[in-house]
Structure 1
Amino acid sequence: MASVLVKYISDKVSCVRWQPSGMQGLQSSDTFVSGSWDNAVKSLTVSQVNSLLMWKVTSKTQTTVKEEEQSYRDTSRTSDVRTTRAYLEPEIVSQEIHIGDVTDLKFANRNSLLAASSCGTVQSFNVTEDSKKLIPGQKWEGIHHLEMSNCPCTCMSVSGTDVATCGEDGRINVLRLDHRKPVRIIDNADSCSLNAIVHSKTNEVITVNSAGQLKVWDVRQDGNSPVRIFLVTGKKVALHCVDRHPVQPHLVAAGGEDGTLTMWDLRKEHLPVTLFDSHESHVWEVKFHPTNPNNLFTCSDDGSVLHWQTKPGIGSSRPSTPLAGFPSSAVSSGHGLLQQATSGADTGSPWISSDTSASNVDINHVLPSLTMPVNCVDVEGNSLVCGTDGEALYLVNDLFLH
């Protein structure tokens, strides 16, 4: 059964990220970082002072003994011993001041954290292995700017030692961890805000923008033109987030301001393969599970976090059931498959099917009913963490995964 812990803090949470485990695939991480946004003005010279927090998650073994009397006359008893794991509230192990809203967080590796700012800056932090302290390192200041002032760096993506950043200025920067200046700048990559970015290959990135476009870029090429451009069908709807399948890089998921989850097969031409409609407002983040990609998670301005699971028989051999203790959302009109935008879809992928009669995924609510926007979500092993505008962190353990 999934368990949910809530930790109330004094800040609105804009971003959360699990620290990579030292034994990826064998042991889950027990440490994550969070960033805040929209703190009140605390100085005449600094617009906003927010915070970066590093959290430690602990648990303890809990043994329950149930005794049953065997006979009215016999005083002998048998014991049913059950061992469960009780999760404790996460504790802060390190804290750093952050100038401006924390707009994105990424781990370049286990010991290197990158934080993006609404001031147009990217700051690196070294994470000490023993004490989990955040030590400020290299800073790239003002790499996103308009004519007269800096503007927010909206997102980052990491591939090895390279970091790609985007901003409201429509610019793409490629940073290198050991270089003080960007090694590549695409100055006029877009005429509107670039809202999210992800690497599809070492030298290839995917961006989504406020005009509802998904673009593929080869950062080795000169000029400021993308390799390919994809569009959502119908009206232009801003896309806020993007993630790629961890083992099928041609499969990309994006979330929009109308609550729609869009699936693209980059081997197809221009249009998304599948559109799902389940959230009632902006989708702020979309995450494939890094080691169990038949599971995908989205969070929304409507206050919900959804767990998307492929149905049995479609790329999965295990049964799909709702998370214990939480309602399952209906896969029907308004909650499931909206349309198949192209024909001849690849049925080898559990997320894509040529069968338009029903959705290929089950959709379940992860959290109890909420009213405040959920801005961010990240998943590691069978644990999920998310942050809200209600100044709360939610930690969900023992997720059921395919």
Structure 2
Amino acid sequence: MADVRVSYVSQKINKVKWRQSKRQLSQDNQSFVTGSWDDEQNKVCLWKINKDQEAKGMEEEDFGLDEGEPNILCEAPHLGDVTGLENIGDDYIIASSSCGTVTVYSHHTNSQTLGIVHQWEKLHHHNKRPCPCTCIATQDDTVITAGEDGRINMLTMGHKGPSRVIEKGDSCTINGITFLGQSQFITVNSSGQLKSFDMRVNTDEPTQTFQVTGEMTPLQSVDRHPGQPDIVATGGQDGVLGVWDLRQGKMPLSLLEAHGSTIWEVKFHRTNPDHLFTCSEDGSVWHWDGSHVEQTSAAMVTAANLTGTGAGSGGGNFTTSQLNFNTSASVNFSNPWIATDLAKNKVNVTTLTDGVMPVNCLDIDGHNLICGTDGESIISVNFKFLR
């Protein structure tokens, strides 16, 4: 069972990211960064969750949630809505903007301040007029950005301008982007397509294009399986969760009619990828547990049986009559998200929270899940069984 806590923070949270620090050797103190939107003065904020003093000396099961309320360590103004957040190393925070700008912030630990190190301005534009940078991703010291203009920029820390620009990465808005490896990345767009690119290839054309047959429903989010980068999960505007194998065909292996509205973010757990998390415009956060799904070598996927339990106020039981799992593929599977003979297996779906205001973002690290909402709140979830 997961422990859920809601903290009100007086700002609409559009993006959230756990900070990764080599100096952070214990899980007693957790830090994360948020970006706001739809405010007169948007902000990038660095937060810290301290272990509740009341919990010290007590067993975890006696206390329940072992973290206290998040406290702001420092903050910095941000021009426009924060549309993407990433970390580079211990010190740098990268934020993208609805104004088409990408800003690098540095955390000064001695003074507990956030300072601007560098800005790439007007990376995205229509006819020289700035338009939103919709998403960013990082790999080592490389940053890739994508925008409403369909343009893709490759940036390197310490360089003033883009190292490469794909002017026509897409003919419509790119809504999500993530690295597959050192030189490859994928995007999802407002036409319902998933595209892969290879920076080693001297062309602006994608190496592959994937799409649900006959569908033009926008894809809003994407994440790759941490152990198998060819396995990708996407979240759609129609609330459908898709699982794709980039080695097999041009269509998704599976489609799950999940949330009642747009899936704004989908995330695999980094060290326990049998667990996957989604958040939605409908105000819900779901935990997908595939750890009990049997894995087989090769067969035809024909059906699925999914069950769910509600840990929040809106929980319920979900079966194939409510979650339509549309699959058809014959491949060699090695993880539960594309396991064969799914009719005899179950993926457990748990509703962690079910509010009325959209949940825009989430991030998972170890046993801690963090979410940001339009209800000016931060939702923290503790999973005692995940490490």
The alignment's TM-score, normalised by the length of structure 2, stands at 0.89
Q: What are the residue-to-residue correspondences of 1:111-150 with 2, within 5 Å?
A: 111-130=91-110, 132-150=112-130
Please tell me the residue identity of whatever aligns with 2:18. Answer: W
Contact kept, 8 Å, 1:263 with 1:274, in 2: the verdict is yes
Comparing 351-360 with 6-15, greater Cα deviation is found at: 351-360
User: What CA distance in whole angstroms lies between the structure 1 residues aligned with 2:55 and 2:362?
Assistant: 31
User: What CA distance in whole angstroms lies between the structure 1 residues aligned with 2:49 and 2:55?
Assistant: 20
2:349 paired residue number: 363
Q: What are the residue-to-residue correspondences of 1:2-401 with 2, within 5 Å?
A: 2-22=2-22, 27=27, 30-40=30-40, 49-60=41-52, 62=54, 86-130=66-110, 132-314=112-294, 329-333=316-320, 335-340=322-327, 342-357=328-343, 360-367=346-353, 369-401=354-386
Q: CA deviation at 1:398?
A: 3.1
Per-residue Cα deviation, 1:339-364 (whole angstroms, up to 9, x for no partner): 10x32133321110232536642110
Contact kept, 8 Å, 2:310 with 2:317, in 1: the verdict is no
User: What CA distance in whole angstroms lies between the structure 2 residues aligned with 1:101 and 1:115?
Assistant: 10
* Larger Rg, first or second structure (1 or 2): 1
Contact kept, 8 Å, 2:310 with 2:316, in 1: the verdict is no
User: What CA distance in whole angstroms lies between the structure 2 residues aligned with 1:235 and 1:337?
Assistant: 16
Equivalences, count = 375
Please tell me the residue identity of whatever aligns with 2:349. Answer: I
Comparing 3-12 with 149-158, greater Cα deviation is found at: 3-12
Per-residue Cα deviation, 1:105-142 (whole angstroms, up to 9, x for no partner): 00022211100000000000112345543221111000
CA RMSD of aligned residues (A): 2.7
The alignment's TM-score, normalised by the length of structure 1, stands at 0.86
User: What CA distance in whole angstroms lies between the structure 1 residues aligned with 2:274 and 2:194?
Assistant: 23
Please tell me the residue identity of whatever aligns with 2:375. Answer: G
Contact kept, 8 Å, 2:15 with 2:34, in 1: the verdict is yes
Q: CA deviation at 1:201?
A: 1.2
Describe the SS at the equivalent of 1:89. Answer: strand
User: What CA distance in whole angstroms lies between the structure 2 residues aligned with 1:144 and 1:325?
Assistant: 40
Per-residue Cα deviation, 1:173-223 (whole angstroms, up to 9, x for no partner): 000011110001000111100000000011111000000000000122223
Describe the SS at the equivalent of 2:332. Answer: coil
Contact kept, 8 Å, 1:278 with 1:334, in 2: the verdict is no
Per-residue Cα deviation, 1:124-173 (whole angstroms, up to 9, x for no partner): 01123455432211110001111041000000111111111000000000
Describe the SS at the equivalent of 1:58. Answer: strand
User: What CA distance in whole angstroms lies between the structure 1 residues aligned with 2:24 and 2:254?
Assistant: 31
Contact kept, 8 Å, 2:310 with 2:350, in 1: the verdict is yes
Contact kept, 8 Å, 2:278 with 2:286, in 1: the verdict is yes
Q: CA deviation at 1:338?
A: 1.8
User: What CA distance in whole angstroms lies between the structure 2 residues aligned with 1:382 and 1:214?
Assistant: 30
Describe the SS at the equivalent of 1:357. Answer: helix
- Give percent identity, aligned residues only: 40
Contact kept, 8 Å, 1:244 with 1:251, in 2: the verdict is yes
Contact kept, 8 Å, 1:61 with 1:84, in 2: the verdict is no
Q: What are the ranges of 5 or more consecutive residues in structure 2 without an aligned counterpart? A: 297-306
Describe the SS at the equivalent of 2:337. Answer: coil
Please tell me the residue identity of whatever aligns with 1:355. Answer: D
Please tell me the residue identity of whatever aligns with 1:383. Answer: N
Describe the SS at the equivalent of 2:256. Answer: strand
